[in-house]
């Protein structure tokens, strides 16, 4: 009687099509050596509500989660070659990709929340100016404060919270534009430095940005929350 053969990867790329991996301390060298350029990464910021692919639940991380971006108009990892189901950086793939065995998820689960790579790990000490921008943005656009203000707005207090939220969103937009237009920072790198724009993520709090015919911005209830 033949022994059952050990499971092997069938190269179906299902895992790759579910999104790019989060990075860990062991992946820092891949970033520093340019195998994972900053313009191919984005940051989930502390307290940002996000769907956890492993648990299937909304989580509010207490630290940065730096991830590889998805391809345009897709949820697939940016480095997936869809025609051949291959990874374009296979020899330099991050820890989560090396550990993941879809038939045996315990390996990924054991390292998933441990030693995550942060923006500070990547930027300091070589790029203190960029790190200062990141810390200033984090202070002015704290997701804990955004959540508090959004909750007040949804509970009926429309004036004060709306003005404060719009100011936070204006700052977020202005900083991105200044960095890109005047600071010479590639626009594709902004999602790593500052996370996704608040004009996009505000929907996760039940709100969305609208504009009047006169060009004035205001907040309305997000459609899916009505």
pTM of the model: 0.92
pLDDT along the chain (226 residues), means of 10: 65 90 97 97 97 85 96 93 94 95 85 94 96 98 98 95 97 97 96 97 96 93 67
The whole-number pLDDT of residue 224 equals: 60
Q: Which two tokens stand for residue 203?
A: 């929907």
The whole-number pLDDT of residue 1 equals: 41
The whole-number pLDDT of residue 2 equals: 47
The whole-number pLDDT of residue 5 equals: 64
The whole-number pLDDT of residue 58 equals: 93
CA distance 111 to 50: 19
The whole-number pLDDT of residue 223 equals: 66
Contact 221, 154 (CB under 8 A): yes
Give the start-end residues of each E strand in the chain: 41-44, 50-51, 58-59, 65-68, 80-81, 86-87, 207-211, 217-221
Q: Given CA atoms 81, 85, 87, 91 in this order, what sign does their dihedral have?
A: negative
């Amino acid at each position: 009687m033949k022994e059952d053969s050990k499971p092997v990867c069938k190269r179906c790329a299902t895992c790759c099509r579910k999104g790019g991996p989060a990075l860990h301390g062991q992946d820092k060298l891949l970033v520093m050596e340019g195998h994972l350029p900053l313009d191919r990464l984005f940051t989930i910021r502390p307290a940002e509500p996000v769907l956890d692919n492993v648990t299937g639940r909304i989580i509010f991380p207490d630290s940065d989660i730096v991830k590889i971006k998805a391809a345009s108009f897709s949820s697939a990892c940016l480095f997936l070659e869809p025609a051949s189901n291959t990874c374009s950086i296979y020899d330099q793939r991050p820890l989560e990709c090396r550990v993941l065995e879809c038939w045996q998820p315990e390996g990924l689960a054991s390292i998933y929340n441990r030693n995550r790579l942060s923006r500070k790990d990547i930027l300091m000490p070589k790029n203190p100016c960029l790190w200062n921008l990141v810390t200033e943005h984090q202070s002015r656009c704290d997701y804990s404060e955004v959540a508090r203000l959004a909750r007040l707005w949804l509970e009926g207090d429309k004036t004060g919270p709306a003005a404060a939220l719009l100011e936070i969103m204006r700052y977020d937009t202005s900083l991105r534009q200044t960095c890109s237009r005047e600071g010479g920072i590639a626009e594709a790198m902004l999602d790593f430095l500052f996370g996704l724009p608040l004009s996009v993520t505000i929907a996760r709090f039940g709100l969305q940005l609208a504009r009047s015919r006169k060009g004035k911005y205001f907040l309305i209830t997000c459609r899916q929350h009505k």
